[in-house]
A and B are shown apart, each in its own frame.
Chain A
């Protein structure tokens, strides 16, 4: 069941520091490149080769693909920085503080998780009381909410942790403005104020923050294991692997992470993150830390087994070069489960019913 795709083994080699020992002339580069493209990790693999000065050992044809994909992630990082400055300009004028999240945050803070990271949207967190001011300020600077139908607008604004995505008129770039970490209707109740309290201020730009390294791990974990979307699953696991290895180097670090996860009411996603980054990418996480997380998350043995099976499949790469059986079912089940976690029943059923009705009748949903 464990994902043994070439791209996974390649990432593991990097983590273990054994990438130099692969046989460069006979390595199946074509398969690696195809799987890495499928999982949005080609730039990252290329970055690793470049960082270790191994690119010259790769035969010419695959080498070109690696070099070209580094150009892509470099350009991505360049334009992300421009975008952040534009957002800062708009929001600082309105005196709204904000926290960068995910890809943009990794790039801005120069985290290891920014290595060869590709992303399109910029995610930011603002305080709920500033939401209206922020939306107005961004709209005045050219970011407009795309035309969504009344239901979707209402759905976002009443039940979600973010407002509908805003797209810039000229640059066509998109911002997702969040006011909390997960939908307020969720069973878990992390308080956004707690993330703010430990956020790191950016240099020379008062009002701009990134999450603390520990909170970045927790947020990334929550995003992956609460949202029910696994298209970028392996990429997200790789992010987590890089974030964890970078932020935590001692026993003290693990204690802090678990303590913080309890404090934020997000132990479960943190357990999944630790368990699966260790299982899939061999992240150096002590067994007792994982056991403590299971205990604190109050998970039964059955829960642990079941989720191993489901997430193990859902997170795996699925490529014609190496098919993963049962992935569709696992992903479907986890998708339903993610809605279950996010919404009380009286919201959930009408929402899912509407979605499947639109699907059946071939209408477009947002």
Chain B
């Protein structure tokens, strides 16, 4: 059953009592919230996700809650908690949906140590997995949002889950988070893309989420073999350049993007070097999305 097929009372209630359970990739998530903007966000962005059965094992129980106390009258805040643990300080309440997404990212990055978790977008076309590691400002999310609107499949815009067991990357599709100017750029580039409300002035600037395309959900249990590792560099007016990257350099750089490298120790290092051994590595400079798309598509031809 899909989230959207839940009984009216369930889907339209706030999720303050029983919470709402849904599946993304291999993760079963339960959310509890008493904030209307969060339940709206979930109805909007997760309605075509599978619900869990009562008997399913839930991996992560998270709660997004308005903070009580006198402060709620003049400066209302929202807190995120993971089984009672709050990894972040509370934020202004208008950022609640973003906090839910950030919090969920945190939970996955801090518990799913059967994967090497790389801070990057991960997409797929024709069976080729493409990893786009993200340094701030590199345009990782923008490029990812553009590509998944033009035939690539979204696995995640935020983290690549490289399995330590089989070397494949596993999907956990969720809405794509876009910042500041990127929001309008993608709206112009892909007029059919579905967006949520823009949250003004968050920790990371203005933020809006874009609905994960249907293809992402249809194949959310299909892992991909990584084929390309591309470090994007957005540069105004630059000419499009795709330059091969020595594997040793790629390894050094990618290590800085892994969330749990120190926890996995040697196992993590082996997985990463194994993967890099088997993928083509590039530095990619681009100035606009149309030529960027050509450049990326040329890889798989």
Binding site for B on A (CB under 8 A): 29-30, 34, 37-38, 59, 61-62, 64-65, 67-69, 71-72, 74-75, 78-79, 318-320, 362
Please determine whether A78 and B58 come into contact, CB atoms closer than 8 angstroms: no
Tell me the B259-300 residues at the A interface (CB within 8 Å).
262-265
Q: Are B265 and A68 in contact (CB under 8 A)?
A: no
**Interface pair B111/A68, CB less than 8 Å apart:** yes
CA distance A343 to B83 in the complex (A): 35
* A59-B57 contact given A75-B262, A79-B262, CB 8 Å threshold: yes
- Contacts A37-B84, A74-B265 known; list 8 others, CB within 8 Å: A34-B61, A61-B57, A68-B111, A71-B263, A75-B263, A75-B264, A75-B265, A319-B84
Given A71-B264, A72-B263, A75-B262, do A65 and B83 touch, yes or no (CB 8 Å)? no
Q: How long is the Cα–Cα vector from A290 to B262 in the complex, in angstroms? A: 44
Task: Report whether B84 and A38 are in contact in the complex, using a CB–CB cutoff of 8 Å.
Answer: yes
State in angstroms the CA–CA spacing of A362 and B71 once bound together: 9
Residues of chain B within 8 A (CB-CB) of A75 are 262-265
Within 8 Å of chain A (Cβ to Cβ): is B113?
Answer: yes
Contact size range, B: 10 to 19
How many angstroms from the CA of A119 to the CA of B264 in the assembled complex?
A: 17
Q: Interface on B for A, CB 8 Å cutoff? A: 57-59, 61, 71, 82-85, 111-114, 262-265
24 contacts between A and B (CB under 8 A): A30-B57, A30-B58, A34-B83, A37-B83, A37-B84, A37-B85, A38-B83, A38-B84, A38-B85, A59-B57, A61-B57, A64-B114, A65-B111, A67-B114, A68-B111, A68-B112, A71-B113, A71-B264, A72-B113, A75-B264, A75-B265, A79-B262, A318-B84, A319-B83
Find out whether the CB atom of A29 lies under 8 angstroms from the CB atom of B57. Answer: yes
| Distance (whole angstroms) from the CB of B107 to the closest CB of chain A | 10
Closest to A70 in B: B113
A-B contacts counted at CB < 8 A amount to 43
Shortest Cβ distance from residue B108 to the other chain A in the assembled complex, whole angstroms: 11
Chain B residue contacts of A68, Cβ below 8 A: 111-114
Q: CA of A83 to CA of B55 in the docked complex: distance in angstroms?
A: 44
A69 surroundings in chain B (CB, below 8 A)? 111
Give the chain B neighbours of A34 by CB distance below 8 A.
61, 83
Closest to A67 in B: B114
Complex Cα–Cα for A286 and B164 (A)? 48
Task: Output the least CB separation between A118 and chain B (Å).
Answer: 12
A34 CA to B62 CA in the complex, in Å? 11
Chain A: CB-nearest residue to B113: A68
Chain A, Cβ-Cβ closest to B75: A362
Residue among A29, A30, A59 having the largest count of chain B Cβ atoms under 10 Å: A30
* Complex CA–CA separation, A78 to B61 (angstroms): 29
Alpha-carbon distance between A126 and B7 when the two chains are bound, in angstroms: 64
Q: Which residue of chain A lies nearest to B264 when distances are taken between CB atoms in the complex?
A: A71
A-B complex: 9 closest residue pairs judged by Cβ atoms: A68-B113, A61-B57, A75-B263, A38-B84, A71-B113, A37-B83, A34-B83, A38-B83, A71-B263
